[in-house]
Homo-oligomer: A and B are copies of this chain.
Amino acid sequence: MLSVEAAERENLLDKIRMLVLGGDFPPGAVVPEAFLAQEFDVSRTPVREALKQLQHEGLVEIRPKVGTFVREPTRREIIELFQIKESLEGLAASLLARRGGTTELSALRLNLEDSEAAVLTDDTEAYARLVHEFHWTIVRGSDNLKLVEHYGRLMNQLAYQRLVLRTVEHPGRLAASTREHRAVLEMIEHKDPFGAEAAMRNHVHASSREALTEPVQSLRN
């Protein structure tokens, strides 16, 4: 399908994105092309292309003739992105409910069981992974490839992993979140698009408020 070089390039973009998202660089720090080029043993040209793409994704800012800087989303941007997240995931839930994809439904049921187990054992790391999987399963289950694509862009911008780790620290949030997931799943099982959309939006809205209540250092700008 994809030639070897293309796959390598994808990997390069992903690798650089991981490096940026992973927090290995302090926010606002400069990321020289030459360093990345040496790090991944390629020329500056493919690194440039990848950084250009990351700029369009909003993860870095390229100041012309100055340098490439890791860009931390501002609090306002996080609010804005969560509004879009709410809308898109609502759409995804609605589409999945209308479609009634059986494989996704069973995956979601399984996910919910695992999530409840993780809540009981207080396994926040597993829970974070399951939440991620739950949302992505619904989006993919919408059977709308363009939606999947745009959703991926959105999530990249949100630097989601850092945030979700923060929300799960709130006491009681895990249980509440799981209840909301169950509500969404039930609406989808009943093939109720409007109900599913409403439940999903309600859930995302609640989770966004949780993610934003904590005044964290990296969100103070």
Contacts and interface: CB of A to CB of B under 8 A. Distances in A.
Contact of A83 (B52, B77, B86, B147): B147
Nearest to A82: B146
Nearest to A78: B146
A83 B87 CA distance: 11
Is chain A's interface secondary structure helix, strand, loop, or mixed overall?
helix
A144 interface: yes
Contacts of A81: 146
Interface stretch (A88-96, A119-127, A206-214): A88-96
Contacts of A147: 80, 83-84
Interface residues of A, number: 33
B53 A144 contact: no
Q: Chain copies in the assembly? A: 2
Nearest to A48: B49
Contacts of A3: 64-65
Contacts of A77: 145-146
A15 interface: no
A153 interface: yes
Given A45-B45, A58-B149, 20 more contacts: A3-B65, A5-B65, A48-B49, A52-B52, A58-B146, A77-B145, A80-B144, A81-B146, A83-B144, A84-B88, A84-B91, A84-B144, A84-B146, A87-B87, A87-B88, A87-B90, A88-B88, A150-B150, A150-B153, A150-B154
Which 5 pairs from chain A and chain B are nearest by CB?
A80-B146, A87-B91, A80-B144, A3-B64, A6-B64
25 contacts: A3-B65, A5-B64, A6-B64, A49-B52, A52-B53, A53-B53, A53-B56, A56-B56, A58-B146, A58-B149, A77-B145, A77-B146, A80-B145, A80-B147, A83-B95, A83-B147, A84-B88, A84-B144, A84-B147, A84-B150, A86-B91, A87-B87, A87-B88, A146-B157, A150-B153
Interface of A: 2-3, 5-6, 45, 48-49, 52-53, 56, 58, 64-65, 77, 80-81, 83-84, 86-88, 90-91, 95, 144-147, 149-150, 153-154, 157
